[in-house]
Chain A
Amino acid sequence: MEMKKVPLTKQKWFQVLFWILFIIVAWEVGASVVAVTKRTPENVMPHLYQILAAAFSTKPVSSGMSATMVVLTSARATLLRAFGGFLLGAALGFVFALLMQMSKAVEKMIFPYLMLIQLIPVLGLAPIVLAITGDINKSRIIIAAILSFYPVANNTLAGFKSVSKERYELMATYAAKKYQIYGKVLIPAASPYFFTGLKIAAPLAVTASILVDTLQGDGGLGCMLSQSLKHAMSIYVFWLIVFFSAFVGIFSTYLISFIEFITSPAKRAAWNGRSLEKKHRRAAMKAARKEYRKEKEDGRDLISQTCSENKA
């Protein structure tokens, strides 16, 4: 019995580690080159340890706050609005998808034009929204909602459309009412698609909110970002914000995957099944190895035995 081992390059942890190491090495190589070729290397590509040092330094950079404190307080202003806009956009996206599913007329009226929203550059849209609302917080929420809306609406509608003819017919043979078909078939079937939409929308909402910040000078990640770039405060605030928002963007997607996992018992069961399978496979492999070793030893015994017998 031979057991194949999963090669190292195909294991998830190895892939993650590989990319993290790759990025660190590439960054450091770049930073070393920049350090000797540019006049202000910290503006272009500082060493990672410099950024880390800035993160942990307590030296005040702006109105008595350290760089990390500046990032965290402005992040609170930005991310709260991003989250609000995300929820609003996601809810609207779901409702619109439902309306389009319920009525062919609504779908024909709305769907082709939905994409237009996606095509208008946010950079152009944001100042208009700010001028209309006159409030940076409302603008953050609205722009984040606009960007979240489309992926959620589009994916959820695709989820409704994914329901097969057989499922409708099965429900017809039970004389199911319309609301029962929506509640028991369409919405559960669209749920994974809805979550896919959320996963796309979440980092978009964060980006949108940061972008709106840059328009006005009263706090927020985007505002600090541009001030730091204009040397109103330490340039490391800029670098901290870059890394921080990248982290928040990635984290938001994983958070939604996690929420989906928690709320979907079928997914959990599949995952449990897989991990159980892995456990069994590992146990089987261990047993096989043990057997192999034993066979080898027995074989050796046999050989030495026959040798000694021959000698005798």
Chain B
Amino acid sequence: MANAVMERSAQTMDVESKEVEIRVDHLGVTFQDNEGNDVQALTNVNLTVHKGEFVSLLGPSGCGKTTLLRCVADLQEPTEGEIKVGGKTPREIRMAQKFGFVFQQPVLFDWRTVKKNVELPLEMMYQTKERRSKRADEMLEMVGLTNFANHYPGQLSGGMQQRVNIARALGIRPDILLMDEPFSALDEFTKEKLHEDLLRIWSKTNKTILFVTHNIQEAVFLSDRVCVLSPHPGRLSAIVDITLPRPRTLDMRETPEFNELVRQVRDSFEGGSL
């Protein structure tokens, strides 16, 4: 246990020397509102995410954090600047099925069982039935839903549905996990449970995670680094290193170090509306 803590903290210390996974360079996104006026969703965003890092994009609604995530996932075109993922364009990475995207809503298919939902992306990859079934079983075991494999999404609670969503995203063995406020619709108890689950899964698989949230405690608790975005126009106003040791436990939320980091993050918002 102590060993693991040392290892992780060592990783966060010399993060500079690690391989770059995502590079966002002078990114800007402008779109038209209903009256035809230009609205700057994002302007001049520069960000580097390293392999295996857990980075949060934190900000109030309207700050463009989801837009940034969607640009990385190639769900949206940037109007300025560029993004490189492992030296390639986001489209190339998307077409190579290297992204796992977790939406705020579970987006499950109600005519498929839980297991078949997890198998869906594997069907896109033309995997054989046996391999799909084996992989789905593994994933469901990881998120603790083995007993619900043959249930339908409508029979599960919101927290369980979100766990299926995460299992599905991880099933394709993505290099990068992109999460768009995945826990914001859940109650506190479920959320805390899923935070622990996510960190456990992350430490096992060592994926790069880009995590969008508007919850400061959540961002500080989960991340290696917190990117603070401010609105009007959406911009990256600060990056805060989270020096808390790993593995993180729920008691850490009570420590002065944690509260100090939360305060530091809160202070770095620009515009003072918070």
B-binding residues in A (CB < 8 A): 164, 166-167, 169-177, 180, 184-185, 188-189, 191, 264-266, 269-270, 273
8 intermolecular pairs with C-beta atoms under 8 Å apart: A166-B107, A169-B75, A170-B107, A172-B74, A173-B73, A177-B124, A189-B109, A266-B154
With A169-B75, A170-B107, A174-B172 as known contacts, state yes or no: A184 contacts B123, CB within 8 Å: yes
CB-nearest residue of chain B relative to A164?
B107
| B75 in contact with A266 (CB, 8 Å) | no
With A166-B105, A169-B75 as known contacts, state yes or no: A269 contacts B111, CB within 8 Å: no
Beyond A175-B97, A188-B112, A265-B111, 7 extra complex contacts between A and B, CB < 8 Å? A172-B74, A173-B99, A173-B101, A175-B96, A266-B154, A269-B155, A270-B152
| B107 in contact with A174 (CB, 8 Å) | no
CB < 8 Å neighbour of A176 from B73, B99, B105, B124 = B124
The total of interchain contacts (Cβ-Cβ below 8 angstroms) comes to 62
CB-nearest residue of chain B relative to A268?
B152
Contacts of B121 in A (CB 8 A): 174
Task: Tell me if B232 counts as interface (CB < 8 A to partner A).
Answer: no
Task: Tell me if B95 counts as interface (CB < 8 A to partner A).
Answer: yes
Contacts of A266 in B (CB 8 A): 110-112, 152, 154
| A170 in contact with B97 (CB, 8 Å) | no
Shortest Cβ gap from B262 to chain A (Å): 31
Please measure, in the bound complex, the distance between the C-alpha atom of A273 and the C-alpha atom of B97, giving whole angstroms: 36
**Interface size class for chain B?**
20 to 34
| B109 in contact with A173 (CB, 8 Å) | no
Contacts of A265 in B (CB 8 A): 111, 113
Task: Tell me if B26 counts as interface (CB < 8 A to partner A).
Answer: no
Shortest Cβ gap from B268 to chain A (Å): 31
Contacts of A171 in B (CB 8 A): 124
With A270-B152, A273-B155 as known contacts, state yes or no: A173 contacts B107, CB within 8 Å: no
CB < 8 Å neighbour of A191 from B73, B100, B111 = B111
Shortest Cβ gap from A173 to chain B (Å): 4
Please measure, in the bound complex, the distance between the C-alpha atom of A86 and the C-alpha atom of B154, giving whole angstroms: 33
* Residues in B109-167 with C-beta less than 8 Å from chain A: 109-113, 120-121, 123-125, 151-152, 154-155
| B109 in contact with A185 (CB, 8 Å) | yes
With A166-B105, A180-B124, A188-B109 as known contacts, state yes or no: A173 contacts B155, CB within 8 Å: no
| A174 in contact with B97 (CB, 8 Å) | yes
Task: Tell me if B193 counts as interface (CB < 8 A to partner A).
Answer: no
Task: Tell me if B263 counts as interface (CB < 8 A to partner A).
Answer: no
| B154 in contact with A172 (CB, 8 Å) | no
Task: Tell me if B18 counts as interface (CB < 8 A to partner A).
Answer: no
Task: Tell me if B88 counts as interface (CB < 8 A to partner A).
Answer: no
B47-84 CB mask vs A (1 if < 8 Å, else 0) is 00000000000000000000000000111000000000
CB-nearest residue of chain B relative to A169?
B75
Please measure, in the bound complex, the distance between the C-alpha atom of A177 and the C-alpha atom of B94, giving whole angstroms: 12
Shortest Cβ gap from A159 to chain B (Å): 12
Residues of A contacting B: mostly = helix
Shortest Cβ gap from B173 to chain A (Å): 13
Contacts of B74 in A (CB 8 A): 172
Task: Tell me if B103 counts as interface (CB < 8 A to partner A).
Answer: yes
Shortest Cβ gap from B19 to chain A (Å): 23
Please measure, in the bound complex, the distance between the C-alpha atom of A185 and the C-alpha atom of B105, giving whole angstroms: 17
Contacts of A180 in B (CB 8 A): 123-124
CB-nearest residue of chain B relative to A191?
B111
CB < 8 Å neighbour of A170 from B103, B112, B154 = B103
CB-nearest residue of chain A relative to B105?
A166
Contacts of B99 in A (CB 8 A): 173
CB-nearest residue of chain B relative to A267?
B111
Shortest Cβ gap from B58 to chain A (Å): 22
Please measure, in the bound complex, the distance between the C-alpha atom of A266 and the C-alpha atom of B103, giving whole angstroms: 23
CB < 8 Å neighbour of B103 from A166, A270, A273 = A166
CB-nearest residue of chain A relative to B155?
A273
Please measure, in the bound complex, the distance between the C-alpha atom of A286 and the C-alpha atom of B252, giving whole angstroms: 49
CB-nearest residue of chain A relative to B95?
A175
Please measure, in the bound complex, the distance between the C-alpha atom of A169 and the C-alpha atom of B107, giving whole angstroms: 10
Shortest Cβ gap from B45 to chain A (Å): 21
| B151 in contact with A269 (CB, 8 Å) | yes
Shortest Cβ gap from B148 to chain A (Å): 12
CB-nearest residue of chain A relative to B124?
A174
* Residue from A169, A185, A188, A191 having most chain B Cβ neighbours under 10 A: A169
| A173 in contact with B111 (CB, 8 Å) | no
Contacts of B103 in A (CB 8 A): 166, 169-170
Please measure, in the bound complex, the distance between the C-alpha atom of A27 and the C-alpha atom of B107, giving whole angstroms: 52
Contacts of A264 in B (CB 8 A): 111
Shortest Cβ gap from A261 to chain B (Å): 13
Shortest Cβ gap from A276 to chain B (Å): 11
Shortest Cβ gap from A277 to chain B (Å): 11
With A166-B103, A191-B111, A266-B110 as known contacts, state yes or no: A172 contacts B94, CB within 8 Å: yes
Contacts of A189 in B (CB 8 A): 109, 111
| B94 in contact with A175 (CB, 8 Å) | yes
Shortest Cβ gap from B184 to chain A (Å): 15
CB-nearest residue of chain A relative to B106?
A166
* Residue from A172, A175, A270 having most chain B Cβ neighbours under 10 A: A175
Please measure, in the bound complex, the distance between the C-alpha atom of A175 and the C-alpha atom of B93, giving whole angstroms: 10
| A270 in contact with B154 (CB, 8 Å) | yes
Contacts of A185 in B (CB 8 A): 109
Please measure, in the bound complex, the distance between the C-alpha atom of A166 and the C-alpha atom of B107, giving whole angstroms: 7
